[in-house]
Chain A
Protein backbone atom coordinates (compact mmCIF):
# COMPACT_ATOMS: atom_id res chain seq x y z
CA UNK A 1 0.00 0.00 0.00
CA UNK A 2 1.00 3.63 -0.42
CA UNK A 3 3.15 4.94 2.36
CA UNK A 4 4.54 8.36 3.24
CA UNK A 5 7.26 8.80 5.84
CA UNK A 6 8.22 12.05 7.48
CA UNK A 7 10.63 12.61 10.35
CA UNK A 8 8.61 11.58 13.37
CA UNK A 9 10.89 13.41 15.76
CA UNK A 10 10.49 17.12 16.19
CA UNK A 11 13.04 19.40 14.59
CA UNK A 12 14.49 22.09 16.83
CA UNK A 13 16.49 24.87 15.22
CA UNK A 14 17.73 28.33 16.06
CA UNK A 15 16.15 31.40 14.56
CA UNK A 16 17.86 32.44 11.35
CA UNK A 17 18.99 28.94 10.42
CA UNK A 18 17.63 26.83 7.57
CA UNK A 19 15.16 24.09 8.47
CA UNK A 20 15.15 21.02 6.24
CA UNK A 21 12.31 18.51 6.41
CA UNK A 22 12.22 15.18 4.59
CA UNK A 23 9.40 13.28 2.96
CA UNK A 24 9.85 9.78 1.57
CA UNK A 25 7.17 7.73 -0.14
CA UNK A 26 6.74 4.20 -1.46
CA UNK A 27 4.38 2.30 -3.72
CA UNK A 28 3.16 5.45 -5.42
CA UNK A 29 3.88 7.63 -8.43
CA UNK A 30 2.23 10.92 -7.62
CA UNK A 31 1.54 13.54 -10.21
CA UNK A 32 2.10 16.19 -7.58
CA UNK A 33 3.68 16.52 -4.19
CA UNK A 34 2.40 19.22 -1.87
CA UNK A 35 3.51 20.69 1.42
CA UNK A 36 1.06 22.05 3.98
CA UNK A 37 1.45 23.76 7.32
CA UNK A 38 -0.77 22.81 10.26
CA UNK A 39 -1.03 24.69 13.52
CA UNK A 40 -2.52 22.99 16.62
CA UNK A 41 -6.29 22.62 16.36
CA UNK A 42 -6.41 24.13 12.87
CA UNK A 43 -6.83 22.83 9.36
CA UNK A 44 -3.85 22.38 7.03
CA UNK A 45 -2.79 25.39 4.98
CA UNK A 46 -1.31 24.89 1.53
CA UNK A 47 2.26 26.10 1.03
CA UNK A 48 3.78 24.71 -2.16
CA UNK A 49 3.24 22.17 -4.90
CA UNK A 50 5.83 20.52 -7.10
CA UNK A 51 5.06 18.44 -10.17
CA UNK A 52 6.63 15.11 -11.03
CA UNK A 53 8.62 16.66 -13.88
CA UNK A 54 10.00 19.48 -11.72
CA UNK A 55 13.15 19.26 -9.63
CA UNK A 56 12.81 22.38 -7.50
CA UNK A 57 10.24 25.04 -6.65
CA UNK A 58 10.68 28.22 -4.60
CA UNK A 59 8.33 30.63 -2.89
CA UNK A 60 9.78 33.41 -0.77
CA UNK A 61 11.74 31.67 2.03
CA UNK A 62 10.47 28.22 1.07
CA UNK A 63 12.09 25.74 -1.28
CA UNK A 64 10.94 22.27 -2.26
CA UNK A 65 12.87 19.63 -4.16
CA UNK A 66 11.43 16.47 -5.68
CA UNK A 67 13.42 13.40 -6.65
CA UNK A 68 11.13 10.82 -8.25
CA UNK A 69 13.98 8.32 -8.53
CA UNK A 70 14.70 8.43 -4.80
CA UNK A 71 10.96 8.96 -4.11
CA UNK A 72 11.87 11.83 -1.83
CA UNK A 73 11.06 15.49 -1.33
CA UNK A 74 12.98 17.97 0.78
CA UNK A 75 11.33 21.09 2.19
CA UNK A 76 13.54 23.99 3.24
CA UNK A 77 12.70 27.11 5.22
CA UNK A 78 15.52 29.62 5.06
CA UNK A 79 16.08 32.37 7.64
CA UNK A 80 13.64 30.60 9.94
CA UNK A 81 11.58 32.57 12.45
CA UNK A 82 9.75 31.54 15.63
CA UNK A 83 6.50 32.13 13.70
CA UNK A 84 7.50 29.22 11.43
CA UNK A 85 7.00 26.83 14.35
CA UNK A 86 4.26 24.40 13.29
CA UNK A 87 3.74 20.91 11.91
CA UNK A 88 4.57 20.53 8.24
CA UNK A 89 2.72 17.92 6.22
CA UNK A 90 3.84 16.28 3.02
CA UNK A 91 1.00 15.20 0.74
CA UNK A 92 0.81 13.14 -2.43
CA UNK A 93 -1.86 14.24 -4.88
CA UNK A 94 -2.95 12.16 -7.83
CA UNK A 95 -4.11 15.17 -9.81
CA UNK A 96 -7.72 14.25 -9.40
CA UNK A 97 -9.63 13.17 -6.40
CA UNK A 98 -7.34 11.82 -3.72
CA UNK A 99 -4.63 13.27 -1.50
CA UNK A 100 -2.61 11.20 0.95
CA UNK A 101 -0.96 12.99 3.86
CA UNK A 102 2.11 12.09 5.83
CA UNK A 103 2.05 12.24 9.61
CA UNK A 104 3.97 15.51 9.58
CA UNK A 105 7.10 16.84 11.22
CA UNK A 106 6.90 19.31 14.09
CA UNK A 107 9.26 22.25 13.73
CA UNK A 108 10.29 24.43 16.67
CA UNK A 109 12.24 27.58 15.93
CA UNK A 110 13.88 29.13 19.00
CA UNK A 111 14.48 32.84 19.25
Chain B
Protein backbone atom coordinates (compact mmCIF):
# COMPACT_ATOMS: atom_id res chain seq x y z
CA UNK B 1 0.00 0.00 0.00
CA UNK B 2 1.44 3.41 -0.91
CA UNK B 3 2.57 5.58 1.96
CA UNK B 4 4.11 8.95 2.70
CA UNK B 5 7.76 8.72 3.64
CA UNK B 6 9.89 11.27 5.50
CA UNK B 7 13.61 11.65 6.04
CA UNK B 8 15.43 11.87 8.31
CA UNK B 9 13.53 10.29 11.15
CA UNK B 10 15.50 12.38 13.65
CA UNK B 11 17.47 15.57 13.04
CA UNK B 12 19.61 17.27 15.65
CA UNK B 13 20.87 20.76 14.88
CA UNK B 14 22.38 23.79 16.56
CA UNK B 15 20.34 26.94 17.06
CA UNK B 16 20.72 29.25 14.08
CA UNK B 17 21.46 26.49 11.61
CA UNK B 18 19.36 25.73 8.55
CA UNK B 19 17.54 22.42 8.27
CA UNK B 20 15.70 20.78 5.40
CA UNK B 21 13.10 18.15 6.14
CA UNK B 22 12.19 15.87 3.27
CA UNK B 23 8.98 14.12 2.34
CA UNK B 24 7.90 11.91 -0.52
CA UNK B 25 4.11 12.14 -0.79
CA UNK B 26 1.99 9.42 -2.31
CA UNK B 27 2.27 9.61 -6.07
CA UNK B 28 -0.75 11.08 -7.89
CA UNK B 29 -1.76 13.02 -4.78
CA UNK B 30 -2.30 16.69 -5.48
CA UNK B 31 -2.41 18.42 -2.08
CA UNK B 32 0.56 18.53 0.29
CA UNK B 33 0.83 19.70 3.85
CA UNK B 34 3.29 20.25 6.67
CA UNK B 35 2.29 20.08 10.32
CA UNK B 36 4.25 20.21 13.53
CA UNK B 37 3.59 18.73 16.94
CA UNK B 38 5.49 19.97 19.95
CA UNK B 39 5.89 17.20 22.52
CA UNK B 40 2.65 16.70 24.42
CA UNK B 41 0.76 19.27 22.38
CA UNK B 42 -1.65 19.22 19.49
CA UNK B 43 -0.91 18.80 15.81
CA UNK B 44 -0.57 22.30 14.31
CA UNK B 45 -1.11 23.22 10.68
CA UNK B 46 1.86 24.96 9.07
CA UNK B 47 1.25 25.15 5.33
CA UNK B 48 -0.60 23.62 2.41
CA UNK B 49 0.72 23.36 -1.14
CA UNK B 50 -1.25 22.84 -4.31
CA UNK B 51 -0.54 23.34 -7.98
CA UNK B 52 3.09 24.22 -7.23
CA UNK B 53 2.36 27.04 -4.86
CA UNK B 54 1.45 27.71 -1.26
CA UNK B 55 -2.33 27.72 -0.93
CA UNK B 56 -2.58 28.56 2.75
CA UNK B 57 -0.23 29.06 5.69
CA UNK B 58 -0.60 29.59 9.41
CA UNK B 59 0.82 32.31 11.63
CA UNK B 60 3.58 29.89 12.63
CA UNK B 61 4.83 29.73 9.04
CA UNK B 62 6.83 32.95 9.04
CA UNK B 63 9.71 34.09 6.84
CA UNK B 64 12.02 31.52 8.41
CA UNK B 65 10.03 28.73 6.78
CA UNK B 66 9.78 27.78 3.12
CA UNK B 67 8.49 24.82 1.15
CA UNK B 68 9.43 23.42 -2.21
CA UNK B 69 8.47 20.64 -4.54
CA UNK B 70 11.64 20.61 -6.60
CA UNK B 71 11.17 17.58 -8.80
CA UNK B 72 7.55 16.48 -8.77
CA UNK B 73 8.35 13.82 -6.22
CA UNK B 74 9.91 15.33 -3.12
CA UNK B 75 8.28 17.94 -0.91
CA UNK B 76 10.60 19.80 1.43
CA UNK B 77 10.30 22.09 4.41
CA UNK B 78 13.22 24.42 5.10
CA UNK B 79 13.79 26.29 8.32
CA UNK B 80 16.43 28.94 7.65
CA UNK B 81 17.65 29.77 11.15
CA UNK B 82 16.38 27.32 13.72
CA UNK B 83 15.31 28.38 17.18
CA UNK B 84 14.99 26.29 20.32
CA UNK B 85 11.21 26.50 20.05
CA UNK B 86 11.31 24.85 16.62
CA UNK B 87 12.02 21.56 18.37
CA UNK B 88 9.05 19.38 17.51
CA UNK B 89 7.84 16.48 15.42
CA UNK B 90 7.20 17.58 11.84
CA UNK B 91 4.65 15.65 9.82
CA UNK B 92 4.16 15.75 6.08
CA UNK B 93 0.79 14.76 4.65
CA UNK B 94 -0.73 14.37 1.20
CA UNK B 95 -4.24 14.11 -0.14
CA UNK B 96 -5.68 12.93 -3.43
CA UNK B 97 -7.36 15.43 -5.70
CA UNK B 98 -10.72 13.80 -5.36
CA UNK B 99 -11.76 11.53 -2.55
CA UNK B 100 -14.98 10.66 -0.84
CA UNK B 101 -13.37 11.26 2.52
CA UNK B 102 -10.83 14.00 1.81
CA UNK B 103 -8.52 12.17 4.15
CA UNK B 104 -4.92 13.18 4.53
CA UNK B 105 -2.26 10.51 4.63
CA UNK B 106 0.45 11.35 7.13
CA UNK B 107 4.07 10.35 7.09
CA UNK B 108 5.88 8.93 10.14
CA UNK B 109 7.35 12.32 11.01
CA UNK B 110 10.78 13.85 11.54
CA UNK B 111 11.76 14.64 15.08
CA UNK B 112 13.70 17.91 15.06
CA UNK B 113 15.82 18.73 18.09
CA UNK B 114 17.37 22.20 18.25
CA UNK B 115 20.18 22.58 20.78
Contacts and interface: CB of A to CB of B under 8 A. Distances in A.
A101 B108 CA distance: 17
Contact of A99 (B4, B45, B50, B101): B45
Contacts of B102: 32, 34, 49, 93, 95
A80 to B, nearest CB: 23
Nearest to A99: B45
A61 interface: no
Contacts of A99: 33, 45, 104
A1 B103 CA distance: 24
B55 interface: yes
A34 B103 contact: yes
Interface in A33-62: 34, 38, 41-46, 48-49
A97 B42 contact: no
A44 B42 contact: no
Contact of B48 (A34, A89, A97): A97
Interface string B85-112: 0000101010000000111111111000
Contact of B56 (A44, A46, A93, A98): A98
B45 A98 contact: yes
A97 B55 contact: yes
Which 9 interchain pairs have the tightest Cβ spacing?
Answer: A43-B106, A46-B103, A97-B48, A97-B56, A101-B43, A97-B55, A103-B42, A49-B101, A43-B91
Interface of A: 32, 34, 38, 41-46, 48-49, 89, 93, 95-104
Given A44-B91, A93-B102, 16 more contacts: A34-B102, A34-B103, A41-B109, A43-B4, A43-B107, A43-B109, A44-B106, A46-B103, A49-B102, A89-B42, A95-B102, A97-B48, A98-B48, A98-B58, A101-B35, A103-B42
